[in-house]
Structure 1
Amino acid sequence: MKLTKAQYEEIAGFISTLKPTRQCMKKLKERFPHLSQSTLLSIFSQEYQKLIKRTHARHHDPDTLEFYYRWYLHDIEADPTVPVLLNLAYEVGFSPALIARMVLERFLQDQDGQPHTKHVLNSMLREPSLIPDAILANQVQQCIINDCCNGPLVDCIKHAIGHEHEVLLREKLMEKNLGFLDEDQLRLKGYDKTPDFILEVPAAVDGQVINWIESKASFGNESSHCMYLQEQFWSYWNRFGPGLVIYWYGFIEELDCNQERGILLKDTFPTDIVTLSS
């Protein structure tokens, strides 16, 4: 689905009034019933990541971290059955998974007298049963499960969704009898930065020639699209010529302004795609 910049800003403005709980998706759907759940979740996640970046330094200040840790110790001693870390995250307006990581890191330092490596922390967050404290392990697990934008569970879901849409795109290309090379095949040929698929024979969409197609299982907003342009799309254009980007969950329509320069945006696989040899 395509949205105007004004429509997107209306959604982003509404998101800024919500606390990052799973119930917020219900409120979003009620406010914008014409948008799919997947599109709303993608937009919410992107806007929430902006908030996390803006407030990251404040929450990771040593004094603030120590305050959070003492908060946890105090409340967990009063009642270890209460979701203390989750409530703490909601109270301060920060990611539950990141709050859990901060407190876990501080706990381990308290236990061993020295910081632990990222590998150890990531392992414990992926598998909380590795945490050497059953109560904290349960608290961390609650945060991971209830964080809809951050954490190892969300990372796995995003990876699976991205792979699912790449498979869908592959199937669409095969249905159209379009020959292609995928990322793995291109890397074997020595390419480092590659789109998802290179067409062996150029095709045309809306009268525009394309040589490659990139799948994005997300909504294309201004900040993410500008980043992709700089880090990926223009590199693809330099190496392989013009191409097509599919934002499966929609994009801001004003961003589709580079067609003449060789980058076309769509929110679904185009039905009118034809090979130049047909």
Structure 2
Amino acid sequence: MKLSRAEYRVIAKYTDQLKPTRHCMKMLQERFPGYLPSTLLSIFSLEYQVDLSPSLMARIILERFLQEQDKTPYSKQVLSSMLRDPSSIPDHSLADNVYQSTINDCCYGPWVDSIKHAIGHEHEMLLHNKLREKNLSFLDENQLRAKGYDKTPDIILEVPIGALTVCELAAVEGRIVHWIESKASFGDDHSHQNYLNEQFWSYWNRFGPGLVIYWHGFIEELDCHRDRGIMLKDSFPSDIVTFNYRTG
């Protein structure tokens, strides 16, 4: 789902009055019924300013509890482990409160981190399946790292065979795409600019023009670098055209 910057600002302004609880999603959907729930949640996660969200409050209290219970320094791994599994907290009342805080926080905390990781992996698999449906050969991130690349996109449309390289190119809306990056999030100004600086331009420098899929949508004005080789979409392109050539 593509939003104008003006639409995004209206939603972002409304989120200022919300707290990161499960109930906030019901309020968002009632206020903006024409938008996908996944898009609204992604926008809220981006816009919410961390103050004392339930998960953060639980972390602070648990940290203080550990300091008082054990005079020796505790590791961050122990703290994180207890937040992931509150049943390991020796104080049962505190364990219950930590559990309630983390499961009712829709933006931060170990539960949300696990969900985001799972959703990211799910969309990467969706991308792989879409490529296979189109009979497109590709190398994924793990295969590229095994070849020695340190910073890679999720997909490169290239498969080496012996001394030759069979390069499979995709053209989307008349533009060549060498690589595809999957983002299971909404593309707002701040996050997209960070991705451009830290990832996308380096992919472009190394591999050429590419495609970024923001599965939960993006601000449509950000799709302004097509002439420079970076295209944005909110779904896998249905009009993709492929062709092969050999080098070597």
Which of the five TM-score ranges fits, normalised by the shorter chain?
over 0.9
Q: 1:115 Cα shift?
A: 4.0
- The residue that corresponds to 1:99 in the other structure is 57
- The residue that corresponds to 1:234 in the other structure is 201
- The residue that corresponds to 2:163 in the other structure is none
In the alignment, is the contact (CA less than 8 A) between 1:105 and 1:116 conserved in 2?
A: no
Q: 1:223 Cα shift?
A: 0.6
Q: How many equivalent pairs are there?
A: 236
1:156 pairs, out of 83, 107, 114, with 114
1:275 pairs, out of 237, 242, 248, with 242
Q: Is residue 261 from structure 1 mapped to residue 190 from structure 2 by the alignment?
A: no
Q: Is residue 203 from structure 1 mapped to residue 170 from structure 2 by the alignment?
A: yes
Task: Find runs of 4+ consecutive structure 1 residues off by over 3 angstroms.
Answer: none
What does the per-residue CA deviation read over 1:82-117, in whole Å, with 9 as the maximum and x for residues that have no partner? Answer: xxxxxxxxxxxx211111011100011011124421
- The residue that corresponds to 1:4 in the other structure is 4
Q: 1:19 Cα shift?
A: 2.3
Q: Percent identity at matched positions?
A: 68
Tell me the distance in 1 between the aligned counterparts of 2:73 and 2:30: 45
For normalisation by structure 1, the TM-score amounts to 0.83
Q: Which runs of 5+ in 2 are unaligned?
A: 159-167
In the alignment, is the contact (CA less than 8 A) between 1:244 and 1:263 conserved in 2?
A: yes
The amino acid that maps onto 1:42 is S
What pairs up with 1:35-46 in 2 under 5 angstroms? 35-46=35-46
In the alignment, is the contact (CA less than 8 A) between 1:246 and 1:266 conserved in 2?
A: yes
1:111 pairs, out of 50, 59, 69, with 69
Tell me the distance in 1 between the aligned counterparts of 2:186 and 2:172: 21
The alignment partner of 1:227 has SS state of helix
For normalisation by structure 2, the TM-score amounts to 0.93
Q: 1:142 Cα shift?
A: 0.6
In the alignment, is the contact (CA less than 8 A) between 1:124 and 1:130 conserved in 2?
A: yes
- The residue that corresponds to 1:182 in the other structure is 140
Tell me the distance in 2 between the aligned counterparts of 1:270 and 1:157: 26
The amino acid that maps onto 1:215 is S
- The residue that corresponds to 2:151 in the other structure is 193
Tell me the distance in 1 between the aligned counterparts of 2:75 and 2:122: 32
2:99 pairs, out of 141, 146, 151, with 141
The alignment partner of 2:213 has SS state of strand
| RMSD, aligned α-carbons | 1.1
The amino acid that maps onto 1:106 is R
- The residue that corresponds to 2:161 in the other structure is none
Tell me the distance in 1 between the aligned counterparts of 2:227 and 2:73: 52
Q: 1:29 Cα shift?
A: 0.5
Q: 1:46 Cα shift?
A: 0.8
- The residue that corresponds to 1:33 in the other structure is 33
